[in-house]
Structure 1
Amino acid sequence: MSKRKTFLIPFALVTSLFFLWGIANSLNGILINHFQLALDLKRWQAGLVDFAFYLGYFFLALPAGLFMQRYGYKKGILLGLLLYAGGALLFYPAAEVRTYGFFLFALFTIASGLAFLETAANPYVSILGDPAKAEQRINFAQSFNGLSIILGPLLGSVLIFTENDFTRDDLMLMPEAQAEAIRIAEAQTVQTPYLGLALIVLLVALLFYLTPMPEPVQPGERSDGRWQSIFRHRHLTLGILAQFFYVGAQACLWGYFIDFKLAMAPDE
């Protein structure tokens, strides 16, 4: 019983990571629609939000694994949370200068942090308690990711979208000064939500720092270090391909769903 209690707080903290990265993912669809008006972007240009975001996963997932193999889960999670918070904080100056590349860099930084968190969370949950119940803990933790995917767009629409019904085409018909004032105001609506998100992430990072976190007692099996040894496993290769196409389909559907809905039924 005492051993179980020692894992309660670490498990709660790791479970919070599932919620936090779901929030970041689910806000991208809001941004794709919002940036078209705030930054005067075409739809395909706004789609670079997802491109920059998932590029962070592509470049940082393997380094994240190597980092945690050397320094442990806790330090990897702390680094991931700091990158996440740093990217969210970058939204404030990015909105001030209204530079799309700045926003994309901020999103890349957030996703770089999430690469660390996602690489750590699933295997870490499995060691926080009875090994026979590892699957139950993983499923429970992942349920909070699903919850955040539902709540993220709802919170984002309330906090980021304004009551303006203007479209990008409407602004093109306005006097330039009026249109520019609207774009400035729209761009700045992302500042407070992402600042709040950064503060929450930093608070979680502080809790992780102050909480003793267990590490695996025994190292896992090591490969011979060659890529060929990985791709000898046919099921692993097929799993990687399935994940690639699954995430691609997910990004396309999530990214443009809000944009599509507002275009089809703007008054609902």
Structure 2
Amino acid sequence: MKAAFTEKKYLVTLAFVISLFMMWGVAMTMGDVLNKHFQNVLHVSKSQSGLVQFSVFGAYAVMGIPAGLFMKRFGYQRGVLLGLLLFAAGAFLFIPAANAASFSFFRFSLFILACGMATLETVAHPFVASLGPQSTSDQRLNFAQAFNGVGTIIGPAVGGMFILSSAVAADLESVKQVYIIIGVIVVAVAIAFSLIKIPSINTSFDPHQDQSVDQKLVSAPKRLFQHKHFIWAIVAQFFNVAAQGGTWAFFINYGHEKMGLSDEKASYYFSFSMVLMMVGRFAGTFLMRYVKPNRLLALFAFGNIVMCIIVAQSAGWISFIALLMINFFFSIMFPTIFSLGLKDLGRHTQQASSFIVMGVVGGAVFPPLMGLVANKDVASAYYLPIICYAVIMLFGLKLFKTSD
């Protein structure tokens, strides 16, 4: 008999947790809108504005392990509430940051908000996986990730309409108002979630629940960091999110400087590129029926090497379409690297998951570096992510292999 997607008793809880995926998707891409807005209003350089991503992704390095320990000690529900409270606190800190017109204060606010995002992401993935049969956990996670994709579409669309619009683009008042609304929504979700009675969840790892689990791997004597493919997965994830952070950070700049688009219109194209990323996820899921995941990962990484070369040529719409297509090829990278890195780890799987999530800190490092190049020519900055895709391609071709 085919296993159920979930159970009736988990439906309300699952709906709430899936909504979290959308929330941090909105917040993540809103940061890229703020990147351009701070250049306009606070008159910071591109390399300085890249520190927005440093603040956001740096929070993942800080909160990854503490969030996991908190979840282990206090459970999923309290872990979610901690994440939501940090998320809301960061949003409300935008009020004094806007009043002070301080770039440093905004970065601190984003760091607190992103600590909430990191906590939610650390907790939500295993939470969703536990809300039903183990054999259908991948389906639930992919379904939840689809809503994260919806959030990444909403973020730049809202930012373009309410922050980069020509009617409000000259001040910080619109930023303050948007983040007050975000804070209120997050608090409302937190209150509602605190009132939910979470059904009992069996979080213990039982190999008898899934016949695909190899008993010898569960009791394998190897320590976690003796698994080379896991270490390379952390490296690949670092470079993956590094490329993502840099590409997104200067997308609007490219649209404005190279295509002559207004900041508002460029943000709508950015939103459309997120639609292409969702299309890529569906296409990638289909293609994996016929192509091994590691090979498809390598193929998509090669695709983005080609796209970056075209983007860097400043060849009008040809280059801009290539910039849009980068998100299509991005689509499968994060989850595929994640799943390949966790392969055959048995009892180490949960611990390994926390370390691979921390690879997201790559997004803190690359945008400032790309910004240094973008200060002179934003198109040339897109040569840098080629390094990242070369590493990912190598991981997909060779370094993903598990060792006995």
The partner residue of 2:224 within 203, 220, 230 is 230
Deviation at 1:4, TM superposition (A): 2.1
Task: For residue 223 of structure 2, give the secondary structure of its aligned residue in structure 1.
Answer: helix
Distance across 2 between alignment mates of 1:129 and 1:216: 9
| Matched residue type, 2:113 | I
Residue 94 of structure 2 corresponds to residue 91 of structure 1: yes
- Taking a change above 3 Å as real, the CA distance of residues 234 and 209 of structure 1, as seen in their structure-2 partners, is same
Distance across 2 between alignment mates of 1:117 and 1:215: 20
- Taking a change above 3 Å as real, the CA distance of residues 4 and 27 of structure 1, as seen in their structure-2 partners, is same
Distance across 2 between alignment mates of 1:214 and 1:237: 36
Deviation at 1:164, TM superposition (A): 5.7
The partner residue of 1:29 within 32, 42, 47 is 32
The partner residue of 1:203 within 185, 188, 193 is 188
| Matched residue type, 1:251 | G
Distance across 2 between alignment mates of 1:83 and 1:136: 29
Distance across 2 between alignment mates of 1:154 and 1:78: 27
Distance across 2 between alignment mates of 1:72 and 1:136: 23
Task: For residue 198 of structure 2, give the secondary structure of its aligned residue in structure 1.
Answer: coil
User: Is contact 1:29–1:259 with CA below 8 Å preserved after alignment?
Assistant: no
How many pairs does the alignment contain?
Answer: 243
Distance across 2 between alignment mates of 1:71 and 1:220: 18
Provide the alpha-carbon RMSD of the alignment.
2.0
2:122 aligned residue: 119
2:202 aligned residue: 217
User: Is contact 1:32–1:259 with CA below 8 Å preserved after alignment?
Assistant: no
TM-score (ref. length: structure 2): 0.57
Distance across 2 between alignment mates of 1:123 and 1:14: 11
Task: For residue 106 of structure 1, give the secondary structure of its aligned residue in structure 2.
Answer: helix
Deviation at 1:215, TM superposition (A): 5.4
1:255 aligned residue: 249
Distance across 2 between alignment mates of 1:64 and 1:220: 20
| Matched residue type, 1:257 | F
User: Is contact 1:94–1:102 with CA below 8 Å preserved after alignment?
Assistant: yes
Residue 235 of structure 2 corresponds to residue 246 of structure 1: no
Distance across 1 between alignment mates of 2:253 and 2:198: 42
TM-score (ref. length: structure 1): 0.86
2:304 aligned residue: none
Deviation at 1:117, TM superposition (A): 0.5
Task: For residue 36 of structure 1, give the secondary structure of its aligned residue in structure 2.
Answer: helix
Per-residue displacement from partner, 1:42-77 (whole Å, max 9, x unpaired)?
A: 111111100111111111111100111111111111
Distance across 2 between alignment mates of 1:138 and 1:266: 37
Task: For residue 261 of structure 2, give the secondary structure of its aligned residue in structure 1.
Answer: coil
Deviation at 1:218, TM superposition (A): 4.5
Paired-residue identity, %: 40
User: Is contact 1:73–1:215 with CA below 8 Å preserved after alignment?
Assistant: no
User: Is contact 1:81–1:202 with CA below 8 Å preserved after alignment?
Assistant: yes
Q: Judge which range, 127-136 or 193-202, deviates more.
A: 127-136
1:138 aligned residue: 141
User: Is contact 1:86–1:109 with CA below 8 Å preserved after alignment?
Assistant: yes
Per-residue displacement from partner, 1:12-40 (whole Å, max 9, x unpaired)?
A: 00000100000010111110100012112
Task: For residue 190 of structure 1, give the secondary structure of its aligned residue in structure 2.
Answer: helix
Distance across 1 between alignment mates of 2:39 and 2:52: 11
User: Is contact 2:130–2:202 with CA below 8 Å preserved after alignment?
Assistant: no
Distance across 2 between alignment mates of 1:103 and 1:219: 41
Distance across 2 between alignment mates of 1:119 and 1:231: 20
Task: For residue 189 of structure 1, give the secondary structure of its aligned residue in structure 2.
Answer: helix
The answer to which structure, 1 or 2, has the higher relative contact order (CA under 8 A, 6+ apart) is: 1
Deviation at 1:234, TM superposition (A): 1.5
| Matched residue type, 1:28 | G
Residue 83 of structure 2 corresponds to residue 68 of structure 1: no
Gaps of 5+ in 1: 167-181, 222-227
User: Is contact 1:19–1:144 with CA below 8 Å preserved after alignment?
Assistant: yes
The partner residue of 2:132 within 129, 133, 139 is 129
Task: For residue 172 of structure 2, give the secondary structure of its aligned residue in structure 1.
Answer: helix
Per-residue displacement from partner, 1:71-116 (whole Å, max 9, x unpaired)?
A: 1111111000000010011111100111111100000001101111
Distance across 1 between alignment mates of 2:19 and 2:63: 21
Distance across 2 between alignment mates of 1:14 and 1:27: 21
| Matched residue type, 1:196 | I
User: Is contact 1:90–1:106 with CA below 8 Å preserved after alignment?
Assistant: yes
